[in-house]
């Protein structure tokens, strides 16, 4: 996921706090997030995570698929909100942050999610990144338009054997403004 970036936007702590508001306090894993905008109109986010303890199971000692999905959601929500706030993506140029808050939970759907676990990732301190590979507006005959979004993500830690996980997800933004 190395592409030429044009602009880098450091963590907006107020925006991050608002993005994470729907999560239970013990499930707010994303600690910082830097958004980068690329010359081809794409955007990505790099984040730092801490999972002190799993929110649903005894300690496995490694990042698991449920937590991968939660971390993905937190990065994705922040990336979309920051892209709207900064006007980074043409597909979201008509959106306001109020539109995002209204649609964040009910209208942003994961249509497909696949993760590959290469080596165990230490959940106590790890990094991740996610990129929006493409955002396309679709309008099926006789139906409401929606945004179809292809993404890729990866996680890694700083342990000696360097934990690693990566994957892809497809999103559908329905009931778009």
- Indicate whether this model's pTM tops 0.75: yes
pLDDT of 88-133, one tens digit each? 988 898 999 999 999 999 999 999 999 999 999 999 999 999 999 9
Question: Can you say how many angstroms the Cα of residue 51 is from the centroid of all Cα atoms in its chain?
Answer: 16
DSSP β-bridge partners for residue 36 = 8, 44
pLDDT tens-digit readout, 35-74: 999 766 789 999 999 999 988 888 888 899 999 999 999 9
- Terminal-residue alpha carbon distance, the chain: 30
CB 44 within 8 A of CB 130: yes
Nearest residue to 106 (alpha-carbon basis) of 172, 30, 20, 21:
172
Whether the CB-CB separation of 23 and 17 falls below 8 Å is answered with: no
Q: Which pLDDT band, with edges at 50, 70 and 90, does 159 fall under?
A: low
- How many whole angstroms separate alpha carbon 37 and alpha carbon 131? 10
Give the separation between CA 161 and CA 29, rounded to whole angstroms.
Answer: 22
Residues 5-15: tens digit of each pLDDT: 588 999 999 99
CA 130 – CA 49 distance, rounded (Å): 13
Say whether 35 sits in a helix, a strand or coil. strand
> In 139-163, which ranges are E strands?
146-157
How remote is the C-alpha of 141 from its chain's centroid? Answer: 30
Q: Are 157 and 126 in contact (CB under 8 A)?
A: yes
Taking residues 68-92, what's their average pLDDT?
Answer: 95
For residues 154 and 156, what is the distance between their CA atoms, to the nearest angstrom? 7
């Amino acid at each position: 996921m190395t592409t030429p970036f044009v602009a880098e936007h450091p963590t907006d702590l107020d925006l991050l706090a608002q993005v994470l508001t729907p999560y239970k306090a013990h499930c707010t894993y994303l600690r910082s997030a830097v958004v980068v905008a690329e010359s081809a109109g794409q955007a990505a986010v790099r984040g730092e995570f801490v999972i002190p303890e799993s929110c649903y199971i005894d300690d496995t000692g490694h990042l698991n698929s449920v937590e991968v999905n939660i971390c993905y959601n937190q990065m994705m929500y922040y990336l979309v909100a920051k892209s709207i706030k900064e006007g980074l993506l043409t597909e979201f140029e008509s959106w306001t942050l109020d539109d995002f808050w209204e649609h964040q939970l009910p209208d942003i759907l994961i249509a497909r999610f696949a993760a590959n676990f290469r080596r165990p990732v230490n959940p106590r301190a790890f990094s991740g990144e996610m990129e929006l590979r493409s955002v396309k507006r679709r309008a099926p005959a006789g139906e409401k338009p929606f945004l179809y979004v292809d993404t890729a993500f990866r996680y890694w830690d700083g342990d000696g054997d360097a934990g690693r996980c990566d994957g892809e997800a497809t999103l559908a933004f329905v009931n778009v403004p």
